[in-house]
Amino acid sequence: MKTIFASVLMCCSLAAYAEGESNTENMPVDNQESDVGKFNIVLAAAMTFGGDELVPVSNGRSIDAGGLLYLAAGGVYHAGTSVDIQATFGVHVDAVEATNGSADFTRSFVELMPFYVFDSGNRFGVGIAHIMSPELTTPTEVISFEDTNGMVVEYDWMLAKHYFLGIRLADITYDDTNGIYLPVDGSYIGVIMEGHF
């Protein structure tokens, strides 16, 4: 996962560099300039994939430490024409239903991420995530993991003013509170939809 993380980070950096080097003399920047000093509420939803398999299920679906549904809310401060500071909190859940019962992996999080905003409105950010109360529940046991910190990289394409479609990559590792299980790789790649209101 570390190799994938480095590769995607390099690709995102190259995309950001290429966009910054492109000819933007005729591109309007009114959208960014009009937002400077303003604060918007952020709502986001993502589908994420990756990480170690925690619970295999006979129908082919499994619970993975990097899956599956990510929901967040928070705020973004437009500090300048090319700088956004965004803070969000939310939940991240993967769950399955099987004939012998249900299982889920749940955790909450707080993220802080500064973004560089291009003249086109697209954004590139690198930030930190604090993961709280990670817990795996199966029909036979409940496994609690320690709170942990991770790194998040995100590139967003502006679909319309204040609406974005992005790709994000997170590098996260979980340790169980009893030290029985090996460290669990919770890294993931995901597609995110985001609105600023």
Nearest to 94 by CA among 134, 121, 126, 59: 134
Beta bridge partners, 170, equal 152, 188
**pTM of the predicted protein model:** 0.81
CB-CB contact of 98 with 58 (8 Å): yes
Peptide bond into 68 cis (omega under 30): yes
CA–CA distance, 148 with 161 (Å, rounded to integer): 34
CA–CA distance, 32 with 117 (Å, rounded to integer): 8
Supply the pLDDT for residue 190: 98
**Domain ranges (residues) in the chain:** 2-196
The pLDDT averaged over each successive group of 10 residues in the chain (197 residues) is 45 45 43 79 98 80 93 97 97 86 93 97 97 93 94 97 96 89 93 97
Domain 2-196 has CATH 3.90.700.10: no
Supply the pLDDT for residue 15: 46
Q: Is 126 left (phi over 0), alpha (psi -120 to 50) or beta?
A: beta
Q: Give the strand pairing for 101-117 and 123-137.
A: antiparallel
Q: Which helix (H) or strand (E) holds 113?
A: strand 101-117
Total count of residues recorded for the chain: 197
Supply the pLDDT for residue 55: 84
Beta bridge partners, 172, equal none
